[in-house]
Structure 1
Amino acid sequence: MRTAEEQIRAVLDGSVGYERGLDTLTVAPAADVDAALFTALRTASARLFGRGWQPGELHRVVGRRGTVPHTQVVADAVVAHLRGFRPALVDPRWRAQADALGATVWWKTDGAYLDGLAARWRVDRVEVLDTILVLLGILRTLPPIETLIPPPGTAPETAAPAAGSVDVRLLDRVRALLAKAESTTYPPEAETYTAKAQELVARHSIDEALLAARGATKAVVPFARRIGVDHPYETEKAALLDAVADANRCHTVWSPELGFATVFGFDTDIDAVDLLHTSLLVQANRAMSAVEPPGGKAGRARLKTFRQSFLVGFAVRIGERLAQAREEVTVAVDAGDLLPVLAARDAQVRETMDRIFPRTVRGRSTRVDSDEGWDSGRAAADRAALHHG
């Protein structure tokens, strides 16, 4: 006679069929099963947090592979994990991600967690058991990833960017400009707003680099952040992210199996990449919807190739224009020591990337099968152009 812990383990490793195992757990003593499942959930999530996964990333990848209830349980696992650590031993960036999930300890006791879920979701006990078992199976398949933020229980790294090091007022101005660019249906307006946003972040990045080089501010170091890329057409969207990153002196490593790209750079530059990429995706999708051919069963394949080619053309043209805008801002800065400073910072970023990813494979370029989509994408990128004036 297996214990509840042994039965759960047997289901997860496949030595017992899933349906048979679920039936056995359903008729077993509820107190034993509930305690064992909650312990298994905490153990599985803690193992992943110790292997590089952050709250937002785990929540997102489970959403890709599971359903909304699975993500809700992940949020609960995050807040349950945090209960075991003093606030001083939790990196502020890690806690900020946990807070963003909006999770709280709503259940009375750990042993009553599953009953609480059934009441919250208004479902029967079998559905709750099924949800937890499927989630444990998803968590079991996730590999270790690079640790970018120290997990709870370890002191925050002194080399990490200090909280508040990014100019919050600048980011608020950039967000406001990009929100206007996304909301307008008049292309010249979107161009002006987006161009101003890029100009702000480019000038701020240069000012920060010069001040740091002259010793006028506390030295900062390159960092890395994982940015999610969603279905569909994620490879093409990742290409756009890479174009935006390159124009803002960052580098990316794309992990298609996990649906995110790791962006390397200085903190302010990564913030700019994240904001611009999100805004440009909105603008690209709006422009694509306005010019794409009709879908339906007959035109489904044509529509898919059009969209893929559109996004590739958009990414390539945006990359060209962003690079041009960056050079214009650089030339406008009257500082003879700027280029060596930027070269030194780029070397630091590359060194950080090579340390975390010592072996990478250059991605294959996306095939363009629709000239109509390619031309439309480049035209849309021209309308979202970042060349100011």
Structure 2
Amino acid sequence: MDATAHKAKKTLKLITALLAKAENTPYPAEAQTFQEHAERLMVRYGIEQATIDAEAGRRGKPQEAMVEERFELFGSYRVGQAIGFSAIAHAFSTVRVLQSTTSTKKILFLIGAESDVQQVLRLFNSLQQQLTSAQHIWWLNYPYKDVLTAHEKTLERRQFQLGFLTTVAGRIMHLYSQESQAADPGTALVLTGRKERADDHVRLLYPTVRNARSQSIAYGSSHAHAAGSHAGAQASVNSEIQESS
């Protein structure tokens, strides 16, 4: 195994460990530290892989495979979750997201370089657990729930989830901006090229795909959104934590 592959393997191992710690700690501040560090490493890893892949292309060598993976959402909150998780996937900039709807579920199709798609899925699965835990704690202490109808309760919980997920998406977008500026001058072009490869793969798989009409949904209160946003911020990274050697 060459040095680059060894470093990538270690980074993935560290990301997995940090996400597991974020999922399992009962302390929000610790979850924030672990989650943010994992996200920053994900962004750095994605930029590194894109750079390596672009160099392989310039040398006429095989590039990383383009893949498609499905992520399915069920239950009463699936529409709002699809909006939030799609925003997170788009924040990675090199992954395309398509949606499909059935009577019982929302399906997100993640399309891009294999390592990018796997990173997004890894984050999705971790965030699902963290979101469930954060919402449970918030709802136990929510002061207005006794005066809400069943429908209003659903809207409030959906709004909490949207606040949580869109806050994570915004943070990842900010991390990409930071890390791209700190990297080599050609990084933006490298990421653009990787996204174009994902776009080409979408056209190959779905030559007749059209932009979907936006789906209107009812929203909950600003209180629920703010609480979800705060919880999403707790799901985040202290870049001072050092990668193990």
- Aligned equivalent of 2:124, options 277, 300, 319: 277
Q: Which amino acid aligns with 2:220?
A: D
- Aligned equivalent of 1:374, options 222, 225, 229: 225
* Residue 227 (str. 1) matches residue 78 (str. 2): no
Pairing of 1:66-85 with structure 2 (within 5 A): none
**Contact (CA 8 Å) 2:99, 2:107: kept in 1 or not?**
yes
- Aligned equivalent of 2:110, options 247, 263, 266: 263
* Residue 321 (str. 1) matches residue 208 (str. 2): no
- Aligned equivalent of 2:133, options 286, 289, 297: 286
* Residue 236 (str. 1) matches residue 87 (str. 2): no
Q: Counterparts of 1:354 and 1:218 in 2: how far apart (Å)?
A: 20
Q: Counterparts of 1:245 and 1:193 in 2: how far apart (Å)?
A: 20
Rate the CA distance shift 1:331–1:310 in 2: closer, same or farther, 3 A. same
Deviation at 1:291, TM superposition (A): 1.8
* Residue 180 (str. 1) matches residue 21 (str. 2): yes
Rate the CA distance shift 1:202–1:182 in 2: closer, same or farther, 3 A. same
**Contact (CA 8 Å) 2:39, 2:236: kept in 1 or not?**
no
Corresponding residue of 2:201? 352
CA offsets, 1:9-42, max 9 Å, x none? xxxxxxxxxxxxxxxxxxxxxxxxxxxxxxxxxx
- Aligned equivalent of 1:246, options 78, 87, 90: 90
Question: Cα RMSD between the aligned structures?
Answer: 2.4
Q: Counterparts of 1:286 and 1:300 in 2: how far apart (Å)?
A: 21
Pairing of 1:287-302 with structure 2 (within 5 A): 287-292=134-139, 293=142, 299-302=149-152
**Contact (CA 8 Å) 1:178, 1:193: kept in 2 or not?**
yes
Corresponding residue of 1:193? 34
CA offsets, 1:295-334, max 9 Å, x none? 679642332111111111222222111100121122221x
More displaced stretch, 275-284 vs 355-364? 355-364
Larger relative contact order, structure 1 or 2 (CA cutoff 8 Å, min sep 6): 2
Q: Which amino acid aligns with 2:202?
A: M
Corresponding residue of 1:342? 191
Deviation at 1:354, TM superposition (A): 2.8
Rate the CA distance shift 1:313–1:387 in 2: closer, same or farther, 3 A. farther
Q: Which amino acid aligns with 1:317?
A: T
What secondary structure is seen at the aligned counterpart in 2 of 1:252?
strand
Aligned length: 223
Q: Counterparts of 1:298 and 1:246 in 2: how far apart (Å)?
A: 34
CA offsets, 1:59-93, max 9 Å, x none? xxxxxxxxxxxxxxxxxxxxxxxxxxxxxxxxxxx
Pairing of 1:86-125 with structure 2 (within 5 A): none
**Contact (CA 8 Å) 1:228, 1:260: kept in 2 or not?**
yes
Q: Counterparts of 1:283 and 1:248 in 2: how far apart (Å)?
A: 20
Corresponding residue of 2:236? 385
Q: Counterparts of 2:220 and 2:32 in 1: how far apart (Å)?
A: 28
Q: Counterparts of 2:187 and 2:216 in 1: how far apart (Å)?
A: 33
Q: Counterparts of 1:254 and 1:242 in 2: how far apart (Å)?
A: 9
- Percentage of matched positions with identical amino acids: 22
Corresponding residue of 1:76? none
Q: Which amino acid aligns with 1:256?
A: T
Corresponding residue of 1:309? 159
Q: Counterparts of 1:340 and 1:227 in 2: how far apart (Å)?
A: 29
Deviation at 1:220, TM superposition (A): 1.8
Deviation at 1:385, TM superposition (A): 3.0
- Structure with a larger share of its residues in strand: 2
What secondary structure is seen at the aligned counterpart in 2 of 1:214?
helix
Q: Counterparts of 2:115 and 2:176 in 1: how far apart (Å)?
A: 15
**Structure 1: runs of 5 or more not aligned:** 1-163
Q: Counterparts of 1:369 and 1:188 in 2: how far apart (Å)?
A: 26
Corresponding residue of 1:127? none
Q: Which structure 1 residue ranges, 4+ long, deviate > 6 Å from structure 2?
A: none
**Contact (CA 8 Å) 1:312, 1:366: kept in 2 or not?**
no
Rate the CA distance shift 1:362–1:170 in 2: closer, same or farther, 3 A. farther
Q: Which amino acid aligns with 2:86?
A: D
**Contact (CA 8 Å) 1:229, 1:259: kept in 2 or not?**
yes
**Contact (CA 8 Å) 2:67, 2:114: kept in 1 or not?**
yes
Deviation at 1:169, TM superposition (A): 4.7
Deviation at 1:356, TM superposition (A): 2.3
TM-score (ref. length: structure 1) = 0.53
